[in-house]
Amino acid sequence: MTVSDIRSAPNTFAALRDQLTDAAVAFAGAPGAAGDILAGIVDDVDRALSERLEIFPVCHHSPASGLAMVRRLRDKQPSVIYMELCEDMRPLLDELRNCRLPVALQAFATDTAGFPAEWAPLSVVAPITESSAEYQAIAYALDTPGVELVLVDRSTDHVFQWGSDDEETPAEETPADGERPEDDGLHGSAVGIEIGDLRPRFAELEEHLLHHGKVRHWSEWWDQYVEQPLADADYDTYRQVMVLIGSLFRRLRRGSTAEDENRERYMWTRMREHLSANDIDPARALYVCGAAHAASPVEQFGVDSDAPFEISPRSATTWHYGLIPSSHSAIEAQFGLAGGAVSIAAATWAKGLRRGKLQPFELEGQPGAKKRVKKLPLPGESEAEVADQLSGFLSRPPVLDPLDEAELLEWSVDIVRLARRNGYLASTADAIAIFETSILLAGLRNRARPTPYDFQDAAVTCIEKDRVPGRRDVRRLCEILLGGDRIGQVGYAALPPLARDVLDRLEPLGLDLSKRTLQRALLDLKSNPDLRPCSDLLWLLRRLLPQDALRPIMGSRGLGETSIQESWDIGLGKHQRSLVELGYEGVSVEQVLEQRLRRAVTAPDATAAVALASVEDALVYLGSARLAAELGNRAVELLAAERTVDDAPIVLRRIRLLLNYFRSTEGGLPTWCERFVTAGYAHYCTLLPTAFTSEETGPAQVAAMLGFLFGMENLALSLGCDHTQLELSVLQSHPESPAKIALLWAARFQLGMLTMAELRTRCDAMLTNPLVLPTVPHYISGFIQAIDPAPALKPFVVELLSKAFGTLPDTVLLPWLPKLITTLKDQTADLIPGLVREAGRTFPGALLAVDAFVPPWSTETTTVATASVTVPDGPVTELLAMHPGTCDALAEVLGIEGNWRTAGPTGNSEVTDLLDRFPAAAVALAAQLGQSLARH
């Protein structure tokens, strides 16, 4: 075509309309709904082609659309191109020349003003591939002087304003093995925007087409029956067929079409405004849109329409824009395409360029772009009418491409070679089998030429006899052979300031951080202290980016802790999307972390534990005492406002760590730490009685509260707290569960309200009481938890565990062991080391000494029993000995038998025995004292 203004004449498709109506009558006996649909799609084609503004219908990532776009742009060379893409993404298009395709345009928002908070963060992406028609139009418009590119679709804000949750979406097509490459998450959970989503939203229709087309999924059907026939079709045929398909799928679509119609009203309103404001002749413009939007039924359709449309204002949400890397697999995963569909489309695009001897449009300066070819002068403009190409296209049988034996043979040999490299026992016989099987499968599916999908099935059948975990499957190898999962990259100049700042600051490492592979960085900070800023930045990025983006192999970072040597695995190139999105939040990583910490402590669900964690991060990663004090004051407010003690263990652990850190610094404890201790002391004293009796509060939380009260007591009392408050709180506590009762006993022991002898007596009574015996393990678990608030109980816990293992029956002991193990495992870092050391001091260290070992608590019991029968001398003893009748009568009534003992001397019996055994010293001392008295 050498025309610039092509419109269909009235009744161009009248014959086709009558033919389809007659076919509906012959099929259903009456025109009915089928006749209306068939006549309607012809009317839609007639309407779209009659419009003065030329409409170019496309399907996203379609090589046929890309090839038709290249031909049409070189023929028409429009001065204005209107494109169905979010209008606020227009500035991003200029940055495409700094990127390697595929990439995705992204709009990102973290603060959702006007949208539900659970939607955050909001993200919209529009992927761009080299074979897509829209990229060809973008490259032509940006590199051709005097050509204007205008995006006319609704803004990203309206994407969420007009979004419909009940809209039926197509089921995702997955590879036969059910797996997807790891790069399919490059778009995250973003909402995708694509031009020309040509897939029926009618499940029965799609199932019917797949069944009769003898294909497995929609991508294969589209490639076989649309892409291949239209790859070499003339422009009129391509245009009419695409509008026909878009109209058919739109009319058969289930669900509401309100969002699509609003988009069409929006786009036509924007185009009429631009044409009128700039006095542009529609004949010199081109409108690129999805085929389903080409023949819209809305009253705003066409440049001659005067129907008004009021565009709703945007919300208060602040949107950030940028480019993120994309990949073929990410596009397939987001838009529900079969695995390898985009790679096969790229291969079809390259083949179509070679066969048609076409020169695609590429942005100058883009990585990998070829040298531009000088354009030929255009023929003179003329105006022509479009002839009916649909009737011939729909009536003639499909043109069967002849078998390209050289291409198929090359595929068969290369896949065997690739399979060998990946561990398969493939041979030349397998290559021959793949070649013949591909032809056989194509024949069974009524194809003269095997498609890449037939080749994939043949390769899987002939090579993949079994699946080996961790090895690439044959279907994935076929995708690699046919073009692979191409992954794009955003260039340095197109990155946001934060990302460029990160790359500049990490430049001393001497690594190419644009690579997607993991790179090892070795930092000897002692001999090369200039790398310390790089180390600080790496730890900061690890806090902000996904964990696998930066992985420390050697070295650590904590409060008051620095490393001398560090080793890192760096994968920033693979996680470029996360780094770009980080740039939407600020101009430096330090600013981003500070903002996140402030948001964390002011969030509605913020707790004191979260605030203390933020204080720690502010000190470790930012070294900011000012920010730490601000966050610490917020932690005091959150602690005083809490009504539960669920986070008590975390609060205890973090405040201990912070107190130890500040005590080691020159400035000592800051004011907020003192306020936190006093507020926590009063807070936990108030909630302690309730926590003891509440079923929702576990023993671990109660033990943490006691640990805070006893561990911080000295500091709290020095700051003005009252010890009586703790005593009253313990006296008011009346738990019912065994574990909490044990914790209460431990608290009373720590306060001096319960002696060790009384505690041992209570526990010994439990071990001898058959009714209490099943609950003894729960008591022991409570005592184990009590080691932290009452460290003096460690010998007693070892004693109690020993008695339990020695006396409890197997029916009680064995079910308790898993609970004991999990309890000890949860407290591994805090309780187990001290408990093990105490057990090491108690039990013998040599195996030979075990038989003669006597537990120390047994010796203490014997000593106490022996001392209790000693009868000291005194007035009471002498009175009873002089009048024994009363005691004898009382003993006879009580049934007690026994003899009267001779009263021994009062005082220490050991000293008396020593003097009896060695009297010489006492006699010599008495003689010496006698001589001294005689002199005086």
Alpha helix positions (H), 469-568? 474-481, 497-505, 532-544
**Listed residue (432, 436, 571) closest to 512, CA to CA:** 571
> Tokens 């990302």, residue?
499
* pLDDT tens digits for range 58-114: 887 788 899 999 999 988 889 999 999 888 898 989 888 888 888 888 888 887 777
Residue 195 neighbours by CB distance under 10 Å: 24
Q: Which of 209-218, 361-370, 397-406, 504-513 has the highest mean pLDDT?
A: 504-513
Burial grade of 489 (CB within 10 A; 0-12, 13-18, 19 or more): buried
Residue 182 has pLDDT above 80, yes or no: no
Of the listed ranges 342-346, 403-407, 473-477, 629-633, the least confidently predicted one is: 403-407
Distance, CA of 922 to CA of 325 (rounded, Å): 99
Residue 792 neighbours by CB distance under 10 Å: 11
> Tokens 């006996």, residue?
29
Q: What percent of the chain has pLDDT over 70?
A: 81
**Contact present, 21 and 35 (Cβ < 8 Å):** yes
**Contact present, 454 and 447 (Cβ < 8 Å):** yes
Half-sphere exposure of 439 (CA within 13 A, CB side): 14
Residue 510 neighbours by CB distance under 10 Å: 8
CA dihedral 889, 891, 897, 901 (to 10 degrees): -90
pLDDT band at 653 (very low <50, low <70, confident <90, very high): very high
Residue-averaged pLDDT of the chain: 80
**Contact present, 652 and 706 (Cβ < 8 Å):** no
pLDDT on residue 764: 86
pLDDT band at 415 (very low <50, low <70, confident <90, very high): confident
Distance, CA of 283 to CA of 303 (rounded, Å): 11
Q: Which of 285-294, 701-710, 886-895 has the highest mean pLDDT?
A: 701-710
Mean pLDDT of 826-838: 71
pLDDT band at 655 (very low <50, low <70, confident <90, very high): very high
Of the listed ranges 96-110, 330-344, 894-908, the least confidently predicted one is: 894-908
Distance, CA of 459 to CA of 462 (rounded, Å): 5
* pLDDT tens digits for range 538-555: 999 999 998 888 999 998
* pLDDT tens digits for range 769-793: 888 888 888 888 888 888 888 888 8
Residues listed for the chain: 936
